[in-house]
Structure formats: C-alpha cells, structure tokens
Amino acid sequence: MLKSVMVALAVFLSGCVSQPSLPANETIVKIKTTDDSIVANSAQHSYRFFRSGLRGEFLRYKTFYERYQKQILGVRVNFNVNSNEVVAEYTAIVDGSRLDEAQRQRLTTEYRATAMEQGYYGVKFQTDGFWTSVIKDELDDSTTLKTPIVVTINDKTKVMSPYAGVLLVPIYPLVMMYGCATGRCI
C-alpha cells in the first residue's frame, strides 16, 4: 500500500513541472522569412511568428531600414515568453550624431524612437508567435545566418516547484492510509 501511495505521489508531482523552461539567452542560427511569417531556429528551439499584423510590421521595418541603414549601429533582440507564447521585440540602435534634423524628427514621430544614452535612439519593432522544439532539417543550409543572433529571453512561464506539490496533498489521509495498511484502522 505504501508503494502505491508513493507511486501516486510521484506521478502527481511529476505533472507539476511538465512545462520546460527556456534558457536566459538563445543563439539564433537559422532564419527563414516570407511576406507573412518568420521562423527563427536555435540548435534546440524554433520560434514561429505567423500572427496577424506581422506583414504591417515587416513593411514598417523595411521602410525604416531603407531610410536609416547607414545610421544603424546594431540591434537588441528580446523574447518575452509565457508558456509557449512569444512576443519578439527587435530594437534597432540608431546613431543620433549621423542624423540631420529632418531625419531625427521623422525617427521620433513616425517610428516612435526613444532617446538613449550617448545620443543614440532605439526604434522597436514587435510581433508575437510561439515556440516549439526544433524540427530536424526543417530549415535548409541556405537559411543559416553568417553571424548568429543572440536573443535575451524573459521567460514568465508559471512553473510550480516540485516541492510545492507536496503542500497540495493533505497529509492526514496519507497517514491514515498508511496506518490502515500496517495495523489497526482507527
């Protein structure tokens, strides 16, 4: 009887941590884009963005890049994760010293750029999607990036600690079952 109780308890507790967690940083090595989708793969995970509004964000980024490509110093990529849902934030860092007044004005009004330290501006692009495990050979070698992109991941998934599961099981019935199995049942 004690073995049955222990097996049942182990099964119950294993269910409490069934959601895998993502690393704090991920290195994207392959990307495939179309007009209405982005698939970005690391060695273990695939991030898929197919949601409505993605095409509009693509067009917004494309015109931004055409206008400011010479002033872009780099990018910051951040994934906010909750369960399997992902919100990707791509922030282009623009050197304000390379802008004339008209460009600076357009950057802040049209692209909602925010001022940063040392005269830089950040322009954020955002889309949402989901993540899965990587599907082997889904993306061919033509999608491999020359320079991999390091992504910061903020995983806000609520995962119950395996120790917290013990608190969910009332101890009194377990003691009574053990008592009844080994001796007189009171």
Q: pLDDT tens digits for 112-135?
A: 999 999 999 999 999 999 999 999
- Closest alpha carbon to 90 in 109, 64, 110: 64
Is residue 182 included in any domain, yes or no?
no
Tell me, yes or no, whether 105 lies in a domain: yes
Q: How many domains is the chain partitioned into structurally?
A: 1
Question: Cα–Cα distance between 164 and 169 in angstroms, integer?
Answer: 10
Domain that holds residue 55: 21-160
The answer to the question of residue 65 being in a domain is yes
> Would residue 112 count as lying in a domain?
yes
Angstrom distance (rounded) from CA 66 to CA 175: 71
Looking at the domain assignment, is residue 33 inside a domain?
yes
Measuring CA to CA, how many Å separate 79 from each of 27, 129, 152?
12, 10, 6
Report the predicted TM-score, pTM, of the whole model to 2 decimal places. Answer: 0.69
- Kindly state whether residue 104 falls inside one of the protein's structural domains: yes
Collect the ranges in the chain with pLDDT lower than 70. Answer: 1-20, 51, 158-186
Query: Per DSSP, what are the bridge partners of residue 132?
Result: 46
Residue 136 lies in a domain: yes
As a whole number of angstroms, the distance between CA 9 and CA 108 comes to 57
**Is residue 170, in this structure, part of any structural domain at all?**
no
User: Would you state the pLDDT for residue 177?
Assistant: 55
